[in-house]
Structure 1
Amino acid sequence: MTLKNVFIASTMIAALAGGYAQAQQSAVSNQRTSQDQSEGQATQIFVSSAGVRQIQQALTQKGYSTGNVDGRWNAQTAAAARSFQQAQNMEPTGTLTIPLVFALGLEQDIITGNTGAQGGSQGSDQGTKQADNQRIVVERADSRGTPLHVSPAGVRQIQQALNQQGWNTGQVDGRWGPATVQAARSYQQVHGLEPTGRLEVGLIAALGLTDPIFSAGHGTGPQAANAARPQPSQAAGPGGDRQVDNQRIAMERADSPGEPLWMNSDGVRQIQQVLNQRGYAAGHLDGNWNQDTTIAATHFQRAQGLEPTGTLTTNLLASIGMPRWQRGEFMAGMTTNANVLGNPNPQTTGTISPARGSGSSAQGGGEGQGASGTR
């Protein structure tokens, strides 16, 4: 065989091998995307340490000492929050719940993005400005933020809504237990949401509970406290034994932290797309808050003057263009072409459809559909 023929044969083999490898890579990518969509991904929503500092300062000003205003949800902050919640006839979770934010009058800053208090540390007790700045730098560097929770009363409302539509959550107890996870997953499957089983913004919107969950009255005051109480214990007989039921309610209110709030991968994919468009390489639009997305989010936050947590914080959502994320309204009207000038990673991006968790399926969709699902 001549040298020329050997070269031609080698070139053909290399081309075939390259094509096979590319096909394999594409198949793996498609398989991973399909798996992401079938299993469902979700990313927890955090409040940055700047937002936590605002809450600490507000609690301290009301007479509930959190100790240092340091942006960390430590034991003293949890105790102060719990005491304030008890005084306001809220469920004393000690966690950073949506009703706590509203009761402190901080919903515009915390829920819609904490735009008024980036970085700074009001109410600092650390002495000199230099020492305070050093402390803030440390906080910004090592804090992931604090998870935003739906209160047990809000969880009970969601459980009641699922039950009313035919999806059995078991006992309406304010806990996101296995029966509630399965009911939520089945509901999500039937309504075109990613079946994560998580307590997500899209699920709340689809159930038509955005206003009850994200409102000033939710979970506060005597009237709201009674509105979503657990159902009477079946063990107490028809109608329930009032004393036994009240004891159970008191226990639930005391020991349940509520449930962390999540965003499904439809919303995350849109965040990844915007980060890519703006020149921050978030990688594939797979809806998974992976290392690439974390690094991209960190650089974006730093450039925007936000605390570089690398997590999905409420102020990141506002800065990325999702100020109404709590309504399931993500990037309505945005361009679907991610391969724009300045994108550092065009080969890892693609196009996406409008978010399935936008809440549009909640209108008129799902009445009576629960009966056909798996319970």
Structure 2
Amino acid sequence: DQKVVAYSHSAGNISYREKLTDYYKSIGIDISADQIIVAAGASEAILFAFQSTMDPGDEIIIPEPFYANYNGFATNAGVVVRPIPSFIDDGFSLPPIAEFEKVINEKTKGIMICNPNNPTGYLYSKEELEVLRELALKYDLYLYADEVYREFCYDGHSHTSVMQLEGLENNTILIDSVSKRYSACGVRIGCMISRNAEVMATAMKFAQARLSPPSFGQVAAEAALAVPKSYFDAVLKEYDARRNVVFDGINAIEGAFCPKPKGAFYVVAALPIDNADKFCQWLLEDFDYNGATVMLAPATGFYATEGAGQNQVRISYVLNVDDLRASVKCLEEALKVYPGRTL
């Protein structure tokens, strides 16, 4: 009914935010519309969260490997990232509590997780989140959770949100987006959610400074909330098939290994190579198999620790099953002739 593409409310259209509360209630998260700020994607939501809770020089702990843009958002806010390692041998599970406590100091303001995880596909269990809850309470830290892959959980596993942890009402900040849920990354609609009124009031100042989130994007995102469960069931079934093709195919290659992801649509694989950056560049510039090659992401870009992930790559299984099978075969053939092969 709108005849002018006007600015929306800086927190987002109230009709969209109210419908979002119904969505969250359906998955066990009870919030109100004033506890949501709609943003230009999860990226802007993370920036709002960091800028609203930390000062320049403050520190945030993030298990690595982690989504590379977290570094950029932290830099933008003047925040220092303190990485702690997770390991491919145990599927990139949550590091021990002692590892967190080693880096906690007077400048530490929070812990950031992505659940399910990009780039590893790891799904943090409720028990692991309870460990983070205890840390947040003990040291009065914020717990930031990027949960944009919530709908992508496999093998009967269910997702637990940080918003469902008791006693953390003032500590948790949820980041969400329509990008992955509806395969609509170009819509650029995400949100920041918290029950902490002071944090949301501060974030609102940043939201007002940029005026409003995308108008057409909000209309599309609001309409998407009516998508039936049958859509997600079909999508999950397809991604599960893709996951199995990649997992089985990688682990059948001599010298290669990847853990089976429980969520999202990524795997990190260890390959018999000397240097992931060189290997990925070699694939694009110097190799083909029957006129084709594969493009991988060097896992080094997902580590903040220099030198980590040198033999690892991230694979995103967003292609159809047949193309994924062909890609795995291409990778297998590439590894046979790569000059930096380590076997």
Measured against the shorter chain, the TM-score band is under 0.3
* Greater RCO (Cα-Cα under 8 Å, separation 6 or more): 1
Structure in which a larger fraction of residues adopt strand = 2
Q: TM-score, normalised by structure 1?
A: 0.24
More helix by share: 1
The normalised TM-score by structure 2 is 0.26
